[in-house]
Structure 1
Amino acid sequence: MSDLDKLDRAILGTLQADGRMPIARLAETVGLSETPCARRLKRLEQEGYIERYRAMLSRRRLGYGVLAYVSVRCAVHDRSLADRFEREVCAIERILSCHNVAGTADYILMVVARDLDDYGTFMRDELRSLPGVTAVESALSLRAVKSEGRLPLP
């Protein structure tokens, strides 16, 4: 992070808000001409500060009315079983994220479903049958207060 100057941070902050911003507008926003701005942007991408660009889709418009945060506990903490669990989780599209965590749960998942019936079927048929799973606890999101926050840039 020490390699980033004020202009680099301005570019990163601006792109977090609008990743599709044309280079001309980005340059104007951060106070550079297009060529130096494009060079800085390319360097930030090459150095890994920008991992990727993506569109944020509306889960509701796509028919996913349920968003659940799921705590998963595993009885056996065997590396090969954990690897199998993680591979299978990564192959399930409706699991948006999976984090191996410390605490009472082993993993926290973010899952989408069309409705509660769909979520119940998913829990019964897929989630509870994943390798090593012994307990599952769900917290259903009622509404998003803050979502996909921007990373702070010191």
Structure 2
Amino acid sequence: MPQIEIDTKDRMIIDLLQQDGRLSNVDLAERINLSPSPCYRRVKRLEDAGVIENYGARINRHRAGLGLTVFTEVKVERHNRTNADALGEALCALPEVVSCFMVSGTADFMAEIVVADLAAYERLLSEKLLTLPMVADIRSNFALRSLKIDGPLSVSQTLEKRE
């Protein structure tokens, strides 16, 4: 998908919607000094281009009973495209995996896993992850404290590069 031009008004829209995805078009337009119709067209353009992918609620993990975050490094058995693709799909299909990346380094994948507690992670590990035939090795890193979660993307970086 081609990258679209994002100007200062677009960046303001993105920043405001990342802070509060429930802003009405009228409130959004007022905050960026546009009338509602052009503001709506800009938001629609950003949505159609895939810059804005979705709207949702941010959930407090601890208050929702999900007190353990684990960063799990997974290595692929017998490195080949088929095994790597299958492992990536299997990891992404697990509801406990909230983010997953193919990475370089000692591991092939890095998955952020959020579960209730250590017992829940042990069950996930033994009953699901270790049963996948394309897994060679798993290393787990447990988060001791969350300092920043689900931070907004800094679209101003891309704007600065173009100016």
TM-score by length of 1: 0.92
Matched with 1:16 is 18
Matched with 1:140 is 142
Distance 2:120 2:131 in 1: 16
Matched with 1:88 is 90
Contact 2:76-2:83 at 8 Å conserved across structures: no
Matched with 2:106 is 104
2:51 aligned with 1:62, yes or no? no
- Report deviation, 1:62: 2.3
Percent same amino acid among aligned pairs?
A: 38
Alpha-carbon displacement from aligned partner over 1:3-33 (angstroms, at most 9, x marks no partner)? 2221111111111111111111111111111
- Report deviation, 1:116: 0.9
Contact 1:84-1:131 at 8 Å conserved across structures: no
Q: 1:87 to 1:2 in 2, by over 3 A?
A: closer
Contact 2:88-2:109 at 8 Å conserved across structures: no
- Report deviation, 1:90: 2.3
Distance 1:74 1:49 in 2: 32
Matched with 2:27 is 25
The size of the alignment, in residue pairs, is: 154
Contact 2:9-2:32 at 8 Å conserved across structures: yes
Once the two structures are superposed, the pairs formed by residues 29-44 of structure 1 within 5 Å of their partners are: 29-44=31-46
Contact 1:73-1:107 at 8 Å conserved across structures: yes
- Report deviation, 1:137: 0.9
- Report deviation, 1:66: 0.6
2:54 counterpart letter in structure 1: R
- Report deviation, 1:85: 1.6
Distance 2:116 2:6 in 1: 43
Unaligned runs of 5+ in 1: none
Matched with 2:151 is 149
- Report deviation, 1:82: 1.9
Distance 2:88 2:133 in 1: 9
Distance 2:23 2:149 in 1: 21
- Report deviation, 1:2: 6.8
